[in-house]
Amino acid sequence: MTDTGGSNVQKDPDDWVTGDEAMTGAQASYLETLSQEAGEEFDPSLTKAEASRRIDELQERTGRGK
C-alpha cells in the first residue's frame, strides 16, 4: 500500500456535520486552560468547529499540543 500523505487524516471543522453545535465539555475545558495560558479571554459560546480552530490557534501560540 502506498502512503499518499493522508496518514494524518483529519476533517476540516467546516466540513463537520455537527460543527455548528455547542462545543463539547472537553473542548471547553481545554480551551479555557489554553486561553488562560495565552492571556486571552475564553468565549463559552463557540461552536464545535469554532472551538477546534481556536484550540489550534492557541496551541500554536502557547506551544502546547504539537
pLDDT tens profile 45-57? 999 999 999 999 9
pTM of the entire structure? 0.74
Examine the pLDDT at 7 and tell me if it is beyond 50: no
Per-residue CA distances from 53 to 1, 2, 3, 4, 10 (Å): 32, 30, 27, 25, 13
Under DSSP, the state recorded for 5 is S
Quote the CA–CA distance of 3 and 39 in Å, as a whole number. Answer: 40
Count of CB atoms within 10 A of residue 28's CB? 16
